[in-house]
């Protein structure tokens, strides 16, 4: 069953405070997240002044440079530009890392094999750590783990790796390990989003859940409906479609998928800044007008544009906190509902299910917030993943009904709670 946490936060520093304190209390090993199996010895090793990346026996050609970039990132992170002194016997010097990847394919997909083994021998000349993984993305996790074994010692002035030989085998318990950012309530510049992605790799998180738009602002360019981003906070607090492509590519090189969200039909006030006919009325401005075909045309246009940018298997369609009172207080919409023999809750279900069909037509599986499941779970597409955020006990019901679930219950996983 695919079920995992998705930590909502704008306060990213806090995440690491929490994670680090967990890692030291688990069993004395300073590794996070704790690998599935860890064995180690007692011999100290010392980094060579010139750590080498080797790929002897690997099927992965690294034509895109993902591995080389990751290796350099890890080496620089550990060295932090300190000068390493060379003064140890060769038998204790770690010359580098040999990375063997079995698959030549570096397409990032949901459910790919992220497992790896990491061996750091205590003997050998020259002495190389060995990483073995099915995919390049498993190898990236292994490099991350390797980096957590190494540190610069200010007395010896060498990067040290204690307690060799190490034998580590690891694979994730859950295929979805997410972090949510909200760029509607709080615009985040592109370099900040990239540094969030960098930070996610330290904890082996693999989905950036991008809650892009909401009531407060519509920062992203939608080529099919170019006035939508008139709902941005300001002229500059925006993302072009090329920015989105750049963010997705940047994330993929680090093994992070980008999950785009449009939250419908509630949480959409900003949509009407550019297209006011999406509002029930000028004085009652969300949810999206259920009686207006244009609402569904715009969703179709957005998801059509998204499908060219966001290649992850899923799109998030929101569906939470829908207050339908504007539908019944607007005579035109009330009449439409009556003519279609629907009350407000029927209208809500009709809207969510139609949006699901549009997403499916663009090749996406769907994620919806839990209110959709709580209100009409038996009507949701079997390709729905229910996103738990309110109460406990939801995941068990979702799974019993044969759907998948993401758990990020706000009592635990909202870092500002
Ligand atoms: C140590 O390694 C270096 C570089 O590989 C080599 O030039 C040198 O001869 C070695 N020294 C000993 C004592 O083996
Ligand atoms: C750093 O190196 C010194 C000198 O070799 C050693 O005594 C000390 O234990 C090392 N510190 C750590 C934290 O490994
Ligand atoms: C629903 O929206 C109406 C109109 O905007 C508002 O008066 C009412 O307080 C809202 N209800 C809830 C539960 O938020
Ligand atoms: C709406 O109508 C459905 C039947 O179509 C009924 O089951 C439901 O209780 C009604 N909901 C409300 C809030 O009146």
> What are the domain boundaries of the chain?
37-170, 178-413
- Decide: 346 in ligand 4 pocket, CB within 6 A: yes
Q: Classify 315 as helix, strand or coil.
A: strand
Instruction: Give per-10-residue mean pLDDT for the chain (417 aa).
Output: 34 32 54 96 94 97 97 95 84 95 96 98 94 98 98 94 97 97 97 98 98 98 98 98 98 98 98 98 98 98 98 98 98 98 98 98 98 98 97 95 95 82
Q: d(Cα 176, Cα 100) in Å, to the nearest integer?
A: 25
Q: Which atom of ligand 2 is nearest to the CA of 160?
A: 14
Do 95 and 53 contact (CB within 8 A), yes or no? Answer: no
| Structural tokens at position 220 | 């992203």
Closest residue by Cα to residue 289 from 221, 232, 350: 350
What CATH class does 37-170 carry? alpha beta
Burial class (CB in 10 A: 0-12, 13-18, 19+), 56: exposed
Closest residue by Cα to residue 355 from 411, 317, 400, 401: 317
Do 242 and 184 contact (CB within 8 A), yes or no? Answer: no
Quote the ligand 2 centre to 165 CA distance (angstroms). 18
- The label of the residue with tokens 């870092």 reads 415
CATH, range 178-413: 3.20.20.80
Nearest CA to ligand 2 atom 12: 153
Closest residue by Cα to residue 348 from 370, 378, 327: 327
What is residue 331's predicted lDDT score, i.e. its pLDDT?
98
Give the N- to C-terminal CA distance of the chain in Å, as an integer.
27
Q: Would strands 43-54 and 178-182 be described as parallel, antiparallel, or unpaired?
A: unpaired
CA Rg value for the chain:
25
Count of Cβ atoms closer than 10 Å to residue 18 Cβ:
10
- Decide: 160 in ligand 2 pocket, CB within 6 A: yes
Burial class (CB in 10 A: 0-12, 13-18, 19+), 368: buried
What are residue 117's phi and psi, to 5 degrees?
-120, 145
Residues 6+ positions from 191 with CB-CB distance below 8 Å: none
Quote the ligand 1 centre to 123 CA distance (angstroms). 15
What is residue 391's predicted lDDT score, i.e. its pLDDT?
87
What is residue 243's predicted lDDT score, i.e. its pLDDT?
98
What is residue 27's predicted lDDT score, i.e. its pLDDT?
61
Nearest CA to ligand 3 atom 14: 323
Sheet holding 37-39, edge to edge: 37-39, 166-170, 116-120, 127-133, 93-101, 43-54, 158-164, 150-153
* Letter string b/e over residues 185-209, b meaning 16 or more CB atoms within 10 A of that residue's CB: eebbeeeebbebbeebbebbbbbbb
Do 244 and 263 contact (CB within 8 A), yes or no? Answer: no
What is residue 21's predicted lDDT score, i.e. its pLDDT?
33
pTM of this structure: 0.91
What is residue 226's predicted lDDT score, i.e. its pLDDT?
98
Burial class (CB in 10 A: 0-12, 13-18, 19+), 154: exposed
What is residue 357's predicted lDDT score, i.e. its pLDDT?
98
Count of Cβ atoms closer than 10 Å to residue 79 Cβ:
16
Quote the ligand 3 centre to 319 CA distance (angstroms). 16
| Structural tokens at position 273 | 């800044």
Report, as residue numbers or ranges, the catalytic residues: 321
Q: Which atom of ligand 3 is nearest to the CA of 329?
A: 4
- Decide: 154 in ligand 2 pocket, CB within 6 A: no
- Decide: 340 in ligand 4 pocket, CB within 6 A: no
Q: To 10 degrees, what angle do helices 66-79 and 136-149 make?
A: 10
Residue 220 carries which DSSP code?
B
Q: To 10 degrees, what angle do helices 136-149 and 190-202 make?
A: 70
What is residue 87's predicted lDDT score, i.e. its pLDDT?
75
- Decide: 343 in ligand 4 pocket, CB within 6 A: yes
Give the number of the ligand closest to the Cα of residue 93. Answer: 1
Quote the ligand 4 centre to 349 CA distance (angstroms). 11
């Amino acid at each position: 069953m695919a079920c995992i946490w998705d930590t909502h936060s704008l306060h990213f520093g806090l995440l690491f405070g929490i994670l680090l304190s967990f890692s030291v209390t688990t069993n004395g090993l300073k590794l996070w997240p704790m690998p599935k199996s860890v064995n180690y010895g007692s011999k100290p090793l010392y980094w060579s002044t010139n750590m080498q990346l080797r790929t002897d026996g690997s099927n992965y050609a690294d034509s895109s440079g993902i591995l080389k970039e990751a290796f350099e990132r890890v080496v620089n992170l550990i060295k932090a530009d300190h000068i390493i002194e060379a003064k140890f016997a060769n038998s204790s010097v770690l010359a580098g890392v040999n990375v063997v990847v079995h698959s030549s394919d570096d397409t990032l997909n949901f459910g790919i094999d992220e497992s790896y083994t990491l061996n750091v021998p205590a003997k050998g000349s020259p002495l190389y750590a060995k990483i073995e993984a099915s995919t390049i993305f498993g190898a990236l996790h292994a490099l991350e783990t390797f980096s957590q074994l190494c540190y610069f010692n200010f007395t010896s002035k060498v990067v040290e790796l204690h307690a060799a030989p190490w034998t580590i085998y690891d694979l994730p318990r859950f295929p979805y390990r997410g972090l949510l950012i909200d760029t509607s309530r709080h615009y985040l510049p592109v370099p900040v989003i990239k540094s969030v992605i960098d930070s996610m790799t330290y904890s082996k998180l693999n989905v950036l859940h991008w809650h892009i738009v909401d009531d407060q602002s519509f920062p992203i360019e939608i080529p099919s409906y170019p006035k939508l981003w008139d709902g941005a906070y300001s002229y500059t607090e925006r993302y072009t479609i090329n920015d989105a492509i750049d963010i997705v590519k940047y994330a993929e090189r680090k093994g992070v998928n980008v999950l785009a969200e449009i939250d419908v039909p509630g949480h959409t006030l900003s949509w009407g800044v550019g297209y006011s006919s999406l509002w029930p009325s000028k004085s009652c401005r969300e949810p999206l007008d259920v009686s207006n075909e244009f609402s569904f045309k715009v969703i179709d246009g957005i998801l059509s544009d998204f499908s060219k940018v966001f290649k992850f298997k899923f799109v998030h369609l929101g569906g939470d906190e829908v207050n339908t009172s504007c539908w019944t207080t607007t005579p035109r919409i009330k009449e439409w509902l009556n003519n279609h023999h629907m009350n407000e809750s029927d209208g809500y279900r009709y809207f969510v299910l139609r949006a699901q069909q549009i997403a499916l037509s663009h090749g996406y599986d769907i994620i919806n917030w839990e209110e959709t499941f709580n209100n009409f779970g038996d009507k949701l597409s079997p390709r729905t993943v229910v996103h738990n955020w309110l109460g406990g006990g939801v995941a068990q019901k979702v799974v019993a009904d044969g759907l998948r679930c993401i758990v990020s219950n706000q009592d635990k996983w909202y870092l500002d709670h």
